Structure 1
Amino acid sequence: MLDRLLGRAELKEQIEELTKQKDHLQRQVEAEQRRRADAVADKQRAEERINRLEDRIEQLEDRVRRETADGQTAPEYRVMREVGPDRAGELYGRLATIQSDSDGLLTAAVTDSDSIPTTVSDRLGDRTALVRRAAPALVVIDDAGLVAAALNLPVMPDPFDGWADSFRLQPSWFQPTSRFAFGLLRSDTFALGIYEGRERESLTAFKSEVKSQHSKGGFSQDRFERRRDGQIEDHLEKARDEIRDADEVDQIILVGERTVLSELRELADTTDVADASGDPETALKQAFHDFWTVRVRGL
C-alpha cells in the first residue's frame, strides 16, 4: 500500500518490463555475436598469415615479370642458393680474394629496383632485369665473364657503384662482426639477445596474453577488439622498455611481424620482416639464422 502511495510499485513494474526487453535484446545480440565470431576469428588468422603471404606474392610477381611485352621468356638466374650464417664468412673471403690487374671488377649496391646504375645495365644488357628482380642486392661482376652475381645481404650498404681491381666489400655486410642486440617482435612474443659476433651472451624473452579469437558470448566485438589492442599495446610497451635497456651495443636489429614492427622501428638501426614463430627463444634462433643468411643469385 505504501509502495503504491509512493509510486514505487509502478516503477517496479516498469523496471521488470524493461529488464525483460533488455534480456530479449541481449539474447539477440549474443546470437548475432555467435554468428559473427567465426568470421572475426578468420579475419584474425588471415592477419597473422600476412607475412607468409608476402613471400608468396613476391614469388608470383617474379613469375609475371618473366614474360616480356612481346611474349618471350625473360632471362632466368643461372643459380639460386642460400648461404647460412656458418658459411657467410667463407663466401665473403672468396669474393675478397678475387683480384684484377686493372679496373676489371664491378661492385654495385642496388637498393632500388627502379634505379639500376648504368655501369650494371651497360654490362648486363637484357639480363639487367635479373638485378631489378633481386634488388635490394649487391652486384659483383668481372670483365672476363667469370663472375656475375646478385647477393641479398643481411646488411645492405648505401647505394654505390664502380670498377676497381677488387670487389668493394665489408665483412659486416655478410656476418655479425661486432657487439649488437638482435630482437624478434610479434604481437604476443618478444625475445632480445645480446650478441658478440654470432655468440649470444644474454637473452630476455617473454610471451604476453593476447586474445586471438572473439569470445563466444559476453562482450561485443568492439569491446573485444579494444581489449585485444590494449593487450598488444601493453606487450609493445614492455618490449620497448627492454630495447631501451640494451646498452653498450654497436647496433640494434629488430625483426618480426610487419603490423607491430612499425611501432618500434625508431628504436632500431635495422628492421626486417620475419615469420619465425614458436616459443620466444626458438623463434629468436630461427629469425637470427634467417636474417644472417645470404641469398646468391647467378646472373
Structure 2
Amino acid sequence: MSGKKKVATNLGSLLNKYSGKERLEDEIERLQSHILELEIDRKRFEKNEITAKRALAAKQDAEEKLKAANVKIETLTHQLEEKKAEATEEISFALIEEITLPQMTPYTSQLASIRSDHDSLITAYITEKEMDLNAGLSKSIMEELDQDSQYLIQKIKSDTGYVLFYDRMQMVGEIIVPPLPLERSSVEISGSFNTEQLKETLTKGINICVLAAHAGESLIGISSDKTGFDEDMVIRSSVKSKHTKGGFSQRRFERLRDEDIDHHAEKVRNALKNMLEHPTVEIDMIIKCGDILLANYILENIDTDITIMERNIDARIEKHDTDSIIRSLFSCRRYKL
C-alpha cells in the first residue's frame, strides 16, 4: 500500500472514532436486537393476555351458572317443603277412633255383608314383621289404591300389624289395627271382604299380665277374658313432682325425686315378681303401657320367657274402674281412608 493510501485509511478510521459513528452503529444494533426481543415478548404477552381473558370469561360464566343453579336448588327445595306441608295438611284420615271388643262384632259383620259383582273388594292382612321389613302391600296391590290411600297407609304405626278393607271403586276404605299380633299375612281380591282372621285374632283365648307404669302410682294385674281383671293391684308411693326452679336446689330436688322413683320401681318390681311366680292362671303375654321408660326399668331384672308387648294407650288408673285399662288394651284402632 502506498504511503498516501495508508495515510487516508488511518485518517478515515480516526475520523470515525472521533465522530462516534462506530459507537452509534453498535448502539443501533443493540437497540434493534432489543426491539426484536421486545416484539417477541409483546406477541407472547398478547397471546397470554387473550388466554387470560378467555379464562376469566369462562370463570365468570361458570360462576354465574353455579349461582343460577344454587338459586334453582333453593327454589325447588322451598317448593318441595311447601308441597310436603300442603300434603300433610290436606291429606289426612277421615276418621281415627278406638273400637271396643264388643263393638267389633257388629263392625266385622257389617263388613262381611258387603258384596261386589266385579271382584273389586281387597282384603289385606299385614303382620308386624312385614311392616318392619317395609314389605307390606305389594306394588301391584298398592297400585290398586288411590294416591291418597297409598300415602296414608305409609303413616300407619303398629306393633301388631294391620288389616286393610278397600273397595277399588273407593266406596270402602278401612284400616283396623288389632290389639293382638296378626299371625300371618295375606291378600285377597274378591266379591266380599274376608274378616275371618280378624275375628279369630279378636276371639283368641289369651291370659295376660298388665303393667301400667306411672311414677308414684302403677297397676299390675292378670286378665283371662279381655273384659276385666281376675286379679289386680295398685302400688302407690310418694314421688315428688317435677321441680321448675333452677340452680343447686333443683339438682338436689331431682336427685331426691329419682330416689323416690327408684323406690317405687322396686316396690312394683317385687309385687310383679310375686304375681308372675304365683299366677292365678298361666300367663301367655305381658303387656306394658303407661310410662314405657319406667315400665322397661321395672322389667329389667325380671327373668321371664313370657312374650312382652308394648301398647301405647291412655293407661290412666281410675280409682273405681281399673278394668278400663283392659278395655283400652283390647280395643281396635280404626282408620278411615
Structure 2 CA distance for partners of 1:150 and 1:279, relative to 1, 3 Å: closer
Structure 2 CA distance for partners of 1:259 and 1:180, relative to 1, 3 Å: same
Distance (whole Å) between structure 2 residues aligned to residue 240 and residue 84 of structure 1: 30
- Out of 122, 130, 140, the residue aligned to residue 105 of structure 1 is 122
**Secondary structure of the residue that 2:153 maps to in structure 1?**
helix
Amino acid across the alignment from 2:295: L
Alignment of 1:69 onto 2:84: yes
Q: What pairs up with 1:55-134 in 2 under 5 angstroms?
A: 68-69=83-84, 71=86, 74-98=90-114, 104-109=121-126, 111=128, 112=131, 115-117=135-137, 118-127=139-148, 128-134=150-156
Distance (whole Å) between structure 2 residues aligned to residue 298 and residue 153 of structure 1: 15
Distance (whole Å) between structure 1 residues aligned to residue 140 and residue 182 of structure 2: 18
Amino acid across the alignment from 2:165: V
Q: Higher relative CO (CA 8 A, sep ≥ 6), structure 1 or 2? A: 1
Amino acid across the alignment from 2:316: S
- Out of 278, 283, 290, the residue aligned to residue 245 of structure 1 is 278
Instruction: Using the TM superposition, give the Cα deviation of residue 192 of structure 1 relative to its aligned residue in structure 2, in angstroms.
Output: 0.5
- Out of 255, 258, 269, the residue aligned to residue 236 of structure 1 is 269
Percent identical across equivalent pairs? 11
Instruction: Using the TM superposition, give the Cα deviation of residue 223 of structure 1 relative to its aligned residue in structure 2, in angstroms.
Output: 5.3
Q: Deviations over 1:73-120 (max 9, x none)?
A: 543333444322321122223334446675843314264385542244
Distance (whole Å) between structure 1 residues aligned to residue 199 and residue 293 of structure 2: 31
Structure 2 CA distance for partners of 1:172 and 1:191, relative to 1, 3 Å: farther
Q: What pairs up with 1:95-244 in 2 under 5 angstroms?
A: 95-98=111-114, 104-109=121-126, 111=128, 112=131, 115-117=135-137, 118-127=139-148, 128-136=150-158, 137-157=162-182, 160-165=185-190, 166-167=193-194, 169-173=197-201, 175-186=202-213, 187=215, 188-198=217-227, 200=228, 202-213=230-241, 220-221=252-253, 222=255, 225-244=258-277
Bigger Cα displacement from structure 2, 228-237 vs 66-75: 66-75
In structure 2, list runs of 5 or more residues that go unmatched.
1-80, 244-248
Distance (whole Å) between structure 2 residues aligned to residue 197 and residue 190 of structure 1: 16
Instruction: Using the TM superposition, give the Cα deviation of residue 205 of structure 1 relative to its aligned residue in structure 2, in angstroms.
Output: 0.7
The TM-score, its normalising length taken from structure 2, stands at 0.55
The TM-score, its normalising length taken from structure 1, stands at 0.61
Is the CA contact 1:254–1:268 (under 8 Å) kept in the aligned structure 2? no
**Secondary structure of the residue that 1:205 maps to in structure 2?**
strand
Instruction: Using the TM superposition, give the Cα deviation of residue 139 of structure 1 relative to its aligned residue in structure 2, in angstroms.
Output: 1.3
Bigger Cα displacement from structure 2, 99-108 vs 287-296: 99-108
Is the CA contact 2:226–2:327 (under 8 Å) kept in the aligned structure 1? no
**Secondary structure of the residue that 2:175 maps to in structure 1?**
strand
Q: Which has the larger radius of gyration?
A: 2
Partner of 1:287: 325
Instruction: Using the TM superposition, give the Cα deviation of residue 236 of structure 1 relative to its aligned residue in structure 2, in angstroms.
Output: 2.0
Distance (whole Å) between structure 2 residues aligned to residue 281 and residue 119 of structure 1: 51
Q: Deviations over 1:244-290 (max 9, x none)?
A: 433334444333321122243864443213333345662x3222222
Bigger Cα displacement from structure 2, 142-151 vs 67-76: 67-76
Instruction: Using the TM superposition, give the Cα deviation of residue 220 of structure 1 relative to its aligned residue in structure 2, in angstroms.
Output: 4.7
In structure 1, list runs of 5 or more residues that go unmatched.
1-65
- In angstroms, what is the RMSD of aligned CA positions? 3.7
Distance (whole Å) between structure 2 residues aligned to residue 233 and residue 184 of structure 1: 14
Distance (whole Å) between structure 2 residues aligned to residue 210 and residue 195 of structure 1: 31
Distance (whole Å) between structure 2 residues aligned to residue 197 and residue 227 of structure 1: 33
Distance (whole Å) between structure 2 residues aligned to residue 145 and residue 96 of structure 1: 17
Distance (whole Å) between structure 2 residues aligned to residue 196 and residue 68 of structure 1: 48
